[in-house]
């Protein structure tokens, strides 16, 4: 599966050489309903508002999907860092409750319902089946089947320029360097300007 194929492939930023310092911690801003889907090789995690991302001990992500043009903030104060870690754990627990369902179809339904309540159906439809499958721990075909039964077809290429879902390529969150935070913030700012969330 290639999470980069499809959604906004022609507009995906490329060539970002990024890294983080040992003490740098970034988080998704809490001001709006947005988040990141952090894709690893065989699974994905959702980091919602306030959640810590790219801690120094975390392995690089295969790809990152920005939903709703999230603001990325660097955390330096101890209390803010602890809160961000706590919120990341809460988002992981939310997703774990969904994937703990033994029936794959029920897992998908719960994931789709949760994302639709949080982001709305228009945004949900822009998230590729392959990415949702990584989150739910099912095959992409299972996502497509449940979407067809619930009238949420899902697309691999949004039909308009007001997309709230942007895939950032592999290089955006892999490899090292002190410019990581600034470049990721710049990339997400670019994504927000080019693809503002529909009102």
Query: If we measure between CA atoms, which residue out of 166, 109, 108 comes closest to residue 134?
Result: 108
Whole-number pLDDT of residue 166: 72
d(CA 8, CA 80): 33
In DSSP terms, which residues pair with 74 in a beta bridge? 26
Two structure tokens written together for 91 = 């988002």
* DSSP label at residue 173: G
pLDDT tens for residues 4-27? 333 322 222 222 223 444 567 899
pLDDT tens for residues 32-80? 889 999 998 889 999 999 999 977 677 778 888 999 889 999 999 999 9
| 176 band by pLDDT with thresholds 50, 70 and 90 | very low
Is 49 strand, coil or helix? coil
Q: What is the dihedral of CA 37, 68, 119, 162, to 10 degrees?
A: -120
pLDDT tens for residues 131-142? 999 999 999 999
158 with 196: CB under 8 angstroms?
Answer: no
Whole-number pLDDT of residue 152: 52
Two structure tokens written together for 169 = 């390529």
Whole-number pLDDT of residue 95: 95
Does the structure show a pLDDT above 70 at 186? Answer: no
d(CA 102, CA 35): 26
For the chain, the 3-state helix, strand and coil shares in percent, each to the nearest 5, are 40, 15, 45
**Chain position carrying tokens 């980069």:** 4
Of 92-96, 169-173, 176-180, which one has max mean pLDDT? 92-96
| 146 band by pLDDT with thresholds 50, 70 and 90 | very high
């Amino acid at each position: 599966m290639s999470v980069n194929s499809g959604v906004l492939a022609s507009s995906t930023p490329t060539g970002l050489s990024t890294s983080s310092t040992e003490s740098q911690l970034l988080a998704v801003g809490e001001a709006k309903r947005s988040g990141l889907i952090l894709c690893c090789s065989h699974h994905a995690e959702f980091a919602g508002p306030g959640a810590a991302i790219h801690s120094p001990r975390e392995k690089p992500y295969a790809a990152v999907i920005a939903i709703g043009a999230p603001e990325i903030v660097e955390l330096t104060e101890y209390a803010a860092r602890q809160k961000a870690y706590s919120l990341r754990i809460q988002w992981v627990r939310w997703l774990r409750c969904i994937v703990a369902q033994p029936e794959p179809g029920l897992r998908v339904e719960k994931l789709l319902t949760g994302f639709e309540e949080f982001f709305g159906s228009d945004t949900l439809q822009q998230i590729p089946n392959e990415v949702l499958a990584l989150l739910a721990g099912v095959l992409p075909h299972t996502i497509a089947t449940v979407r067809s039964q619930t009238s949420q077809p899902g697309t691999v290429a949004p039909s308009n320029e007001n997309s709230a879902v942007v895939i950032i390529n592999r290089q955006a969150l892999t490899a090292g360097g002190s410019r990581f935070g600034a470049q990721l913030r710049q990339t997400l700012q670019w994504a927000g300007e080019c693809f503002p969330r529909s009102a």
